[in-house]
Structures are given as C-alpha cells and as structure tokens.
C-alpha cells in the first residue's frame, strides 16, 4: 500500500480527531490515548485479528457493525464507538474466556480486572506440566514473529481448535531455533520461559531446545546465541562486524565511546 500523508477527520466516541488516511485505527487510538484492549497486535506484523478484544462499532448511515480495530483503516468520515453496551458485554465475556484459558496469567487477570471482570463462569483450563505455564492465550505472536520476521520457523501451531498448542515440531528439541528470544519478547502474557545457564541457553517452553551462547571477548559475559551472531553476520555489513567484534552490548558501548573520545582528543 502506498504511504499516504493525507490527514482526515474521524469521529471516535462523538469526539473528532485528525488521523492519517490509511492508518490502522488501533494505532490512532493508541496515539490519542483512547483505551482499547488488545493482545495480538504488533506493529511489525500484519494485523491478525485473533484476540477479538479490540472490537469496536463502526457507524455507517446510522447502522453499526462490529469489527476489530486492528483491521479498520482510517478514512475520511470514519465514525467509531468504543464503549457501547454491546461492546462491553462481548468484551467482558471474552475476558471470561481468557481467564479460563490462561488461569495463571497475571497480565490477563490485571487486564480483565481493569475492565471489571474479576472471575470467570467457565471451567478453567488446567494442563499439567504446561510448557507455557497456563499463561498462553494462543494469540500467535510468537509463531508469527518466528516465522515471518526471523524466518526461523522453529515453532508453530500444533493441532487445531480447542486442542491447539504452540511448540516445536513433534515436541522435540529443534535445531532450527536460533535462541533469539523474539518469541518471548513479543509474548503479551509473558508465557515463554528462557533460561541461561553458563554457555547454554535453554528454551524451556520449546521442548528444552538448547542453543550455545557466545561470550564477550572483553568481559567474558555470555550475551547472545551463536546462531544469532551467525544470522546477524550474514545480513549485516562485514565492516560493522569487524568493528564491533564479539562484544557484549555493554562492552560495545564502551568501545564506541572510547573511540569517539579518542577522536575528539586527537582532533
């Protein structure tokens, strides 16, 4: 889609706002600090529309239609309602479903509580030895970031419907996992466990897949996985790699700072 810079006027909850044409409504509302809960949206990825929490009502010719805010693109005259009784009712029920699906998630509990839902009428899902500790809500962000952004495809959805889980193929240690941890960093419910132990990183949630870590040439701290370094080396300018060498972020900063100071004093 071509980037348009045209500003248009939209109406949210009877108030008028200026927004960029074509922008995703959810981004506009975040900027304008209009509260809409959401769990599966990530700016780096295409809208996915799976969590259904960002449902809003679009008003057209006096009629309303419920749609997720992450799928609505800004256009002139767009009229949105975010807190109608219908939306509150459905949102509360969805929170009840989430509370039952991820009973161990503090994030979900806090979020639900914020919207007035403190308990669920539904049977809580209890999985013994759940690698995701009863916190996964299957938003798919980890899978998408692993497949679409990193291009690693180490994890994916397994089974379907209510039996869906996320893990490595056949629940076995996966050679493809680079141990980058992008999955954990995008997880909205902090469900993914990664442990660093000496020169090894263990992806506890992903069938205990282990990856080797590299240590900093200067301080000896283990700071990144071997595969991640290989991956970055392959896509970065070789000049940069030579310059920063195998340094941890802290030592890299020091190195760069020293060079700059050196440059100033010499100059």
Partner 1 sequence: MKIISKADLDLVRKTGLKKIEPGHPRVGVGLSSCGIAVGGMQIYDRIMDIIKRNGHDISLVKTGCVGYCREEPIVSVVIPGKAMVLLHKVSGEDVNRVISLALKGEVPNELALCKISDWDHISGKLVYGNGFEDIPDYNEIQFFKHQRKVILRDSGFINPEDIDEYIAIGGYYAACRALTGMDPDDIIDEVKRSGLKGRGGAGFPAGLKWEITKKAPGIDKYIVCNADEGDPGAYMNRNEMESDPHMLLEGMLIGAYAMGINEGLIYIRAEYPLAIERLTFAINQARDYGLLGKDILNSGFDFDIQIATGAGAFVCGESTALAASIEGKTGRPRLRPPRLTEKGIWGRPTDLNNVETWCNVPVIITKGAEWYSDIGIKGSTGTKVFSLVGKVENVGMVEVPLGTTLNRIVFEIGNGGAGGKSVKAVQTGGPSGGCIPVRLFDTPVDFESLNRAGTMMGSGGLVVMDEDTNMVDIARYFINFASGESCGKCVPCREGLKHLLLILSRIMAGKGTVKDIEMLKDLSDTIQKTSLCGLGQTAPNPVVTTLRYFNEEYEQLIGEESKGG
- Binding of residue 142 to partner 1 (CB under 8 A): no
- Binding of residue 252 to partner 1 (CB under 8 A): no
Give residues with Cβ within 8 angstroms of 202, minimum separation 6: 194, 195, 196, 208, 209, 210
| Shortest Å distance, C-beta 90 to partner 1 | 5
**Is 237 in contact with 188 (CB distance < 8 Å)?**
no
- Binding of residue 138 to partner 1 (CB under 8 A): yes
Give residues with Cβ within 8 angstroms of 39, minimum separation 6: 51, 53, 137, 139, 188, 189
Select the residue interacting with partner 1 from 3, 61, 123, 234 (CB under 8 A).
123
Q: Which is nearer to partner 1, 144 or 227 (CB)?
A: 144
Give residues with Cβ within 8 angstroms of 67, minimum separation 6: 55, 56, 57, 58
Select the residue interacting with partner 1 from 47, 131, 179, 188 (CB under 8 A).
47
- Binding of residue 182 to partner 1 (CB under 8 A): no
Residue of 158, 161, 49, 155 lying closest to 101 (CA atoms):
161
- Binding of residue 64 to partner 1 (CB under 8 A): no
The two tokens of residue 244 are: 């920063």
Q: Edge-to-edge strand order for the sheet containing 79-81?
A: 15-20, 7-12, 79-81, 55-60, 63-68
Q: Which is nearer to partner 1, 30 or 97 (CB)?
A: 97
- What x/- string results for residues 76 through 115 when contact with partner 1 is judged by CB under 8 A? ----------x--xx--xx--xx-xx--------------
| Largest pairwise CA distance in the chain | 71
Selected range binding partner 1 among 24-32, 118-126, 202-210, 230-238, rule: CB under 8 A: 118-126
- Binding of residue 52 to partner 1 (CB under 8 A): yes
Could you list the residues that contact partner 1 (CB under 8 A)?
47-52, 55, 66, 68, 71, 86, 89-90, 93-94, 97-98, 100-101, 121-123, 137-138, 140, 157, 159-164
């Amino acid at each position: 889609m071509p980037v348009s810079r045209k500003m248009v006027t939209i109406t949210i909850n009877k108030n008028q706002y200026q927004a960029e044409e074509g922008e995703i409504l959810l981004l506009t509302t975040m900027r304008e600090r209009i509260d809409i809960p959401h769990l599966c949206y990530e700016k780096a990825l295409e809208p996915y529309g799976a969590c259904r929490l960002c449902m809003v009502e679009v008003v057209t010719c006096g009629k309303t239609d419920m749609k997720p805010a992450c799928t609505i693109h800004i256009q002139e005259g767009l009229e949105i309602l975010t807190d109608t009784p219908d939306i509150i009712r459905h949102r509360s029920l969805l929170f009840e479903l989430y509370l039952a699906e991820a009973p161990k998630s503090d994030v979900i509990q806090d979020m639900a509580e914020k919207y007035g839902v403190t308990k669920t009428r539904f049977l809580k899902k209890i999985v013994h030895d759940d690698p995701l500790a009863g916190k996964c809500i299957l938003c798919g962000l980890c899978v998408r970031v692993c497949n679409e952004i990193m291009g690693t495809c180490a994890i994916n959805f397994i089974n379907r419907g209510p039996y869906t889980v996320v893990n490595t193929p056949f629940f076995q240690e996966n050679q493809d996992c680079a141990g980058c941890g992008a999955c954990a960093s995008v997880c909205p419910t902090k469900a993914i466990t990664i442990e660093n132990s000496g020169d090894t990183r263990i992806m506890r949630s992903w069938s205990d897949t282990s990856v080797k870590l590299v240590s900093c040439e200067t301080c000896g701290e283990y700071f990144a996985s071997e595969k991640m370094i290989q991956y970055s080396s392959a896509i970065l300018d070789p000049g940069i790699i030579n310059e920063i060498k195998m340094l941890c972020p802290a030592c890299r900063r020091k190195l760069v700072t020293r060079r700059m100071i050196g440059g100033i004093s010499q100059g």
